[in-house]
């Protein structure tokens, strides 16, 4: 969850002390060495002779004044401008940057426009790196590199390079070499009528439309993430990949006829996207409906993807949505015992010895099926995903887990509130978005609670924006017994890690604190993350809900190791199980 602390009072006192109003507003000049254009947001902004609040005031600028900026970050927080044909300095907190310019020799690859209200510019392609500035909605930017650290754009800012997240920028013009006539694949339009745009954006000019079934030559995939570059009426155009099925790939993607099928699987999702590369941002080639049988040529590609063949071209599907039904994955051996991991983090090895390759880790509380005991004396044979693995028996409690008595949850009305959603992604780091992770985990939790007999109400069940007031209204209208708001944490320090749970005293003080303690205890026990404790906080969704309410921060998305755990289905299922057990403890 993003937490913003805005401190204005000290700056305002310093900036506006001893104000003497000029009869005429200052005239602003610019020249060809400017690095940006901005607009004054303060009622009246002092221009200082030096870059500090104690320097002599040389002019004042009223709100709305457009200014040319010649240097940014002077003495950290000041902008160098020119007024009345002399240099001056204004504080950046009272200026919105509306346009930036490049003075580098780097090759521009695209132009873009900021779509977020305020977009942070970072020193590195990471949400945890230093913020070097902010761009307002609508700011035009020149882009020098795309796909940096997967989701970041390299831009020119303050006469140096900076990085902004691609989710909050619309590409308005691509300078990709358009002279190439190389066809990389062929496709077929699946929409009734598909718009062809002049740029890779839904807001770009529509060049024409293509009817369903039209065959198209594709010259580039993944433009601005989800668009395909095509040629219509002897000019370049762009169509959205969601409405095109790839019918033929280029020579590099053609599947050799003699490649070995190593397994067979069955699609478990309602509709499963087939991607051109093993990642969720790659071009979608087609979709497979639930129940489709597929031949698998490679498992574990980019960790979680399966290589398959569609329309005689290679494609990739995520393993979370495929059930193995046959192949070189473990044969259906007999489960002889069940166990529960007792270590905070237990390595799973490819062979029954500590020197073999680590193929995964299991967190405390994970339940495992055991297929063989005493392998090489001290090891247990288990199944990790769809392959065999071995764990040391010293860190597993053997024996069937006790059956939980869930009767106390029967008919309880529990509201689950997955944080953020829609145009609010929440924390964004290491290629993951908070809104996606908390929704998946919340759906796991919903399933577990309903199996326990509870009545579950979701504030959102898909990627939509819900205001904070509407979230609390959902709980009130449902006459809920419990309100659970699910989030992931973020910090400017990548080392920050751990789980914490918040409550508020406004309503149901005692029960909210008790609920927070029960949930935190089980989360720490089951997930094996650092215990950051139970804390009181004034978050709106727990302050104005009139039943026992908590806000859970599962872990830090800005910590790379925790981000990878948070994004895994296994971790999300364990978190859901921990919350279920915490609720049972609360109702004891």
pLDDT at 553: 96
**Cβ count within 10 A of residue 168:** 20
Residue 15: which residues within 8 A CB-CB, separation 6 or more? Answer: 42, 45, 46, 53, 91, 94
pLDDT score, position 425: 92
Indicate the pLDDT class of residue 208, thresholds 50, 70 and 90.
Answer: confident
Write out the DSSP string of 154-205. EEEETTEEEEEEGGGEEEEEE-S--------EEEEE-SSEEEEESSSSTTSP
Q: Is the dihedral of CA 468, 472, 477, 478 positive or negative?
A: positive
Across 162-171, 235-244, 359-368, 543-552, the highest mean pLDDT is recorded for: 543-552
Can you name the CATH fold of 110-174?
SH3 type barrels. (2.30.30)
The pair of structure tokens assigned to 26 is 């200052």
Active site residue 553: yes
Q: What is the pLDDT of residue 330?
A: 43
Share of the chain above pLDDT 70, in %: 82
What is the pLDDT at residue 415? Answer: 97
The dihedral through the CA atoms of 299, 302, 303, 305 has a sign that is negative
d(CA 520, CA 525): 8
The residue ranges of every structural domain in the chain are 36-100, 110-174, 185-249, 263-325, 337-398, 407-587
192 pLDDT more than 90: no
Q: Is it the case that residue 252 has pLDDT exceeding 80?
A: no
pLDDT at residue 227 in the model: 79
Which of 20-29, 167-176, 203-212 has the highest average model confidence (pLDDT)?
Answer: 203-212
Instruction: Record the tokens describing residue 18, joined without a space.
Output: 């001893």
Tell whether the model's pLDDT for residue 267 goes beyond 60.
yes
- How far is it, in rounded angstroms, from Cα 447 to Cα 449? 6
**581 has which bridge partners?**
none
* Rounded mean pLDDT, 502-506: 94
Task: Report which of 213, 207, 211, 239 is spatially closest to residue 226, judged by C-alpha positions.
Answer: 239
Comparing 586 with 243, the larger pLDDT belongs to 586
Catalytic residue among 500, 553, 562, 581: 553
| Cβ atoms 197, 224 nearer than 8 A | no
Query: What pLDDT, on a 0 to 100 scale, did the predictor assign at position 178?
Result: 39
Residue 381 has pLDDT above 80, yes or no: yes
465-469, long-range: CB < 8 A, 24+ apart: 465/421, 465/422, 465/423, 465/424, 466/421, 466/422, 468/540, 468/541, 469/540, 469/544
For domain 407-587, the CATH superfamily is: Zn-dependent exopeptidases (3.40.630.40)
Instruction: Give the pLDDT confidence score for residue 584 in this predicted structure.
Output: 94
Q: What is the pLDDT averaged over residues 75-96? A: 84
Does residue 486 carry a pLDDT above 80? yes
CATH for 185-249, among 2.30.30.40, 3.40.50.1100, 3.40.30.10, 3.20.20.80? 2.30.30.40
* Cα separation, 438 vs 17, whole angstroms: 47
The beta-strand segments (E) located in 55-109 are: 57-62, 66-74, 78-83, 86-91, 95-100
Q: Give the model's pLDDT for residue 173.
A: 62
Same fold for the domain at 185-249 and the one at 337-398? Answer: yes
Find the helix or strand (DSSP H, E) in which 213 lies. Answer: none
Instruction: Give the span between the Cα atoms of 29 and 86, in whole angstroms.
Output: 9
- Domain 36-100 CATH (choose: 2.30.30.40, 3.30.465.10, 3.40.220.10, 2.40.30.10): 2.30.30.40
Distance of CA 325 to the CA centre of its chain: 32
Matching CATH number, 337-398, of 3.40.50.300, 2.140.10.10, 1.10.150.130, 2.30.30.40: 2.30.30.40
CATH topology of domain 263-325: SH3 type barrels. (2.30.30)
Q: What's the whole-number mean pLDDT along residues 402-418?
A: 88
pLDDT at 21 > cutoff 50: no
pLDDT 10s digits, 271-303: 788 888 887 777 778 888 877 888 888 776 776
Q: Does residue 510 carry a pLDDT above 90?
A: yes
Top-confidence residue, 430 or 519: 519
């Amino acid at each position: 969850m993003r937490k913003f602390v805005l401190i204005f009072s000290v700056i305002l006192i310093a900036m506006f002390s001893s104000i003497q109003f000029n009869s005429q507003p200052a005239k602003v000049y610019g020249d060809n060495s400017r690095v940006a254009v901005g607009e004054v947001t303060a009622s009246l902004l002092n221009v200082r002779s030096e870059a500090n609040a104690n320097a002599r005031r040389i002019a004042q600028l009223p709100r709305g004044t457009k200014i040319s900026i010649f240097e940014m970050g002077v003495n950290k927080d000041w902008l160098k401008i020119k007024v009345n044909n002399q240099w001056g300095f204004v504080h950046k907190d009272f200026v919105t940057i509306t346009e930036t310019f490049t003075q580098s020799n780097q090759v521009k690859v695209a132009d873009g426009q900021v779509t977020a209200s305020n977009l942070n510019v970072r020193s590195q392609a990471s949400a945890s790196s230093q913020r070097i500035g902010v761009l307002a909605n609508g700011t035009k930017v020149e882009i020098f590199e795309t796909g940096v650290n997967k989701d970041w754009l390299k831009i020119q800012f303050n006469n140096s390079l900076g990085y902004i997240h691609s989710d909050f920028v619309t590409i308005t013009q691509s300078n990709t070499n358009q002279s190439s006539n190389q066809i990389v694949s062929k496709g077929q339009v699946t929409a009734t009528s598909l718009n062809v745009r002049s740029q890779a954006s839904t807001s770009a000019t529509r060049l024409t439309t293509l009817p369903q079934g039209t065959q198209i030559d594709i010259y580039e995939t993944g433009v601005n993430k989800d668009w395909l570059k095509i040629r219509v009426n002897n000019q370049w155009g762009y169509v959205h990949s969601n409405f095109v099925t790839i019918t033929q790939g280029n020579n590099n993607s053609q599947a050799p006829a003699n490649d070995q099928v190593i397994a067979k699987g069955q699609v478990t999702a309602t509709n499963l996207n087939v991607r051109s590369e093993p990642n969720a941002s790659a071009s979608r080639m087609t979709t497979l409906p639930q129940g489709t049988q597929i031949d698998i040529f490679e498992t574990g590609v980019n960790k979680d993807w399966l290589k398959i063949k569609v329309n005689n071209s290679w494609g990739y599907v995520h393993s979370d949505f495929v059930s193995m039904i046959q192949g070189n994955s473990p044969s259906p051996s007999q489960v002889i015992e069940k166990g529960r991991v007792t270590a905070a983090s237990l390595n799973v090895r490819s062979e029954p010895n500590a020197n073999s390759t680590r193929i995964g880790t299991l967190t405390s509380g994970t339940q495992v099926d055991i297929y063989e005991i005493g392998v090489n004396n001290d090891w247990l044979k288990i199944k990790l995903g769809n392959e065999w693995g071995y764990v040391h028996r010293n860190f597993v409690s053997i024996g069937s887990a006790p059956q939980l008595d869930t009767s106390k949850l029967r008919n309880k009305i529990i509201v689950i509130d997955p944080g953020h959603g829609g145009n609010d992604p929440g924390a964004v780091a290491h290629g993951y978005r908070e809104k996606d992770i908390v929704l998946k985990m919340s759906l796991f939790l919903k399933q577990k609670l309903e199996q326990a007999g509870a009545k579950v109400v979701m504030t959102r069940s898909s990627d939509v924006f819900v205001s904070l007031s509407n979230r609390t209204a959902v709980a009130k209208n449902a006459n809920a017994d419990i309100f659970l708001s699910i989030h992931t944490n973020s910090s400017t320090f990548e080392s920050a890690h751990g789980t914490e749970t918040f409550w508020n005293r406004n309503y149901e003080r005692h029960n909210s604190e008790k609920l927070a303690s029960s949930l935190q205890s089980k989360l720490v026990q089951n997930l094996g993350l650092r215990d950051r404790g139970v804390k009181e906080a004034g978050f709106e969704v727990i302050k104005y809900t009139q039943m026992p309410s908590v806000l859970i921060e599962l872990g830090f998305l800005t910590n790379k190791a925790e981000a990878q755990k948070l994004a895994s289905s296994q971790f999300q299922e364990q978190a859901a199980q921990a919350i279920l057990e915490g609720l049972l403890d609360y109702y004891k």
